Amino acid sequence: MQRTNEHYLPRFLMRGFASHIRGEEVKTWWFREGIDPKETNIRNIAAEKDFHSSDSGCSADDSIKPLEDQFGWYLDSLRQQKTECRLDDAVVPELVGNLTVRTKAFREGLTRSTAIAMREVIARLRDTEQLNKIVSVRLGDPSGRLLKPLASKLADKFSPEYADTFIEQLPDMIAFMRSPLGSLLSKIQLEKVEKAFESDFPRAAKESHVHALSQAPVPKTVIAALAHLHWHLVIHNPGSFILGDVGPVFKIENSIRSKSAPVGVYDYDAAFLPISDSHLIAGLEDERSPVVGVEQVNRFSSSCSQTFFISAFNTVREQNYALQLGSSADLLDKDTMPSLVEHVLSLLQSL
């Protein structure tokens, strides 16, 4: 299979932050932490070989590219606007939704957060009391929520007699799991699971991300999370806005902090998508024309981004933004992670 260079931050968006355009050559300033700013062609930025293609042969490009034509035309029309206005077009939340979930920052942030949560779950399961509790609830559930489906599957795969024998032996199996030897064997199995998880999870995460994008490049969950916002076109002087590698950013509700994605959460009250160095799409809970602070939006863009942002200009202001890169890049903060771990453990007991 021929490998192709695929942009996770599309060129139709990066064009709005050009420092230099000559024919097909579009350049911008590329700011990365610890590296001097570099003026380079946008072809070289936010692109990886087969980023939207998986080892199994699945590709999200066929789903993404038709949308890019529509999104690109729409943004070009907005960049021609000279006055601020309401944006009631259905394409706006679709654009924001697609740009939120297609990036490398989103994939790596979700992968990292999930990995941290799963490591904590595995660590908790190493505790004998915690493991025995789950085993007892799952295998000794008197309601039969687990046993009946399990018996049915065993009967289909082997025989009804095999299923009956297996179910009859379950009390002895539970007792063994609670014994010192059973607990030791369980911990050994958990170590194997953890090693397999560490080695296979990044590849599996990419496979899942590509598959999800191929099926739904604009996920319904994201559109639902954006439904309460009213969208506006905000215009400032040239050179006002930068674009981070996360694309859109979201203001945490009643706070001056930001996050990089609204997936599955509703604790934010604004969304911002810079589409040029002077134009911004703003989603707010208020229908009235917004008053948007340029510095706040730029701080959000730099702090939520993982590795870089781009800008039409290279000044001390942009160099200071580069010092904030990645400071708010995690999808799940330290206060959210414990509740996620507890939720996973409760699912293991209640499935």
On whether both 262 and 182 belong to a single domain, the answer is: no
Which residues, in sequence order, are CB contacts of 31 under 8 Å at separation 6+? 37, 242, 308, 309, 310, 311, 318, 319, 321, 322, 325
C-alpha to C-alpha distance for 235 and 296, rounded to whole angstroms: 15
Q: What is the reported pTM? A: 0.76
State the residue for tokens 């590509």.
210
Domain co-membership, 221 together with 209: no
Of 213, 234, 249, which residue sits at a domain end?
213
Q: Domain check: are 94 and 34 in the same one? A: yes
* Separation of alpha carbons 75 and 11, rounded Å: 12
Rounded to whole angstroms, how far apart are CA atoms 124 and 142? 25
Q: Give the count of domains, the chain.
A: 2
What is the rounded distance in angstroms from the CA atom of residue 77 to the CA atom of residue 92?
13
User: Residue 262 sits in which domain range?
Assistant: 5-113+217-322
Specify whether 228 is located in the same domain as 104. Answer: yes
Domain boundary among 196, 213, 230: 213
234 alpha carbon, distance to own chain's centre: 26
| 233 and 109 assigned to the same domain | yes
3-class secondary-structure state, position 114: helix
Q: Is the pLDDT of residue 301 over 90?
A: yes
- What are residue 124's phi and psi, to 5 degrees? -70, -35
Q: Are both 49 and 92 inside the same structural domain?
A: yes
Please state the rounded mean pLDDT for residues 88-107.
92
My answer on whether 228 and 271 are in the same domain is yes
pLDDT in tens, 188-237: 565 666 666 666 777 888 888 888 888 888 888 888 888 889 999 999 99
What pLDDT score was predicted for residue 164? 72
Q: Is residue 331 part of a domain?
A: no
Please check whether residue 343 lies inside any domain of the structure.
Answer: no
Asked if residue 69 and residue 135 are part of one domain, the reply reads: no
Domain annotation covers residue 340: no
Give, as one character, the DSSP assignment of residue 58.
-
Residues 180 and 252 in one domain: no
67-81, 173-187, 277-291: least confident range: 173-187
Whole-angstrom distance, CA of residue 126 vs CA of residue 347? 17
Asked if residue 300 and residue 239 are part of one domain, the reply reads: yes
The answer as to whether 195 is a domain residue is yes
Instruction: Tell me the C-alpha to C-alpha distance, in Å, between residue 37 and each of 28, 90, 158, 312, 319.
Output: 10, 37, 65, 12, 8
More confident residue, 161 or 312: 312
Q: Which carries the bigger pLDDT value, residue 240 or residue 205?
A: 240
Q: 242 and 173: one domain?
A: no
Asked whether 37 and 314 are in contact (CB, 8 A), the reply is: yes
